[in-house]
Amino acid sequence: MNTLVAVAIAPFGIGEELSLEVAKVIKVIRESGLPNRTTSMFTEIEGSWDEVMQVVKEATFVLASKGIRTEVVLKADVRPGFTNMMTTKVHKINELLGGEDEQ
């Protein structure tokens, strides 16, 4: 079942600058081989439910296994019969806006 998730995985309670820890999480996601896209607040991952949730688990435990309290915020869109939702959803909106590019 195709699933698109938006996930934010971050260390909690370890200081102000978290980019090094977040980079470790993103590395796990990118190395998964699943389609993904990172923005300033979330990373989207697309694949089957089991594949996506396994990547979320592995990315979470890259911090948690080091004893770091880890916060996970996740939103999932499970849409049977659809694929490539990460790009087609944005494309449809851009078409409705007259072909405008994302800003």
pLDDT tens by residue, 29-81: 999 999 999 999 999 999 999 999 999 999 999 999 999 999 999 999 999 99
Angle in degrees, CA 83, 89, 91, rounded to 5: 115
Residue 26 has pLDDT above 80, yes or no: yes
Name the E strands within the chain. Answer: 2-11, 36-38, 43-48, 70-78
* Domains located in the chain, CATH noted: 2-96 (3.30.70.930)
**Per-residue pLDDT tens for 15-25?**
777 899 999 99
pLDDT at position 24:
97
The pTM is what?
0.87
The tokens 């948690």 sit on which residue? 64
pLDDT at position 102:
57
Instruction: List, as one string, the DSSP characters of 33-57.
Output: -S-EEE-SS-EEEEEEHHHHHHHHH
Instruction: Give the confidence band of 103 by pLDDT, cuts at 50, 70, 90.
Output: low
Residue 100 has pLDDT above 70, yes or no: no
Cα distance between residue 72 and residue 6, in whole Å: 10
Q: Which two tokens stand for residue 50?
A: 């089991």
Instruction: Give the confidence band of 86 by pLDDT, cuts at 50, 70, 90.
Output: very high
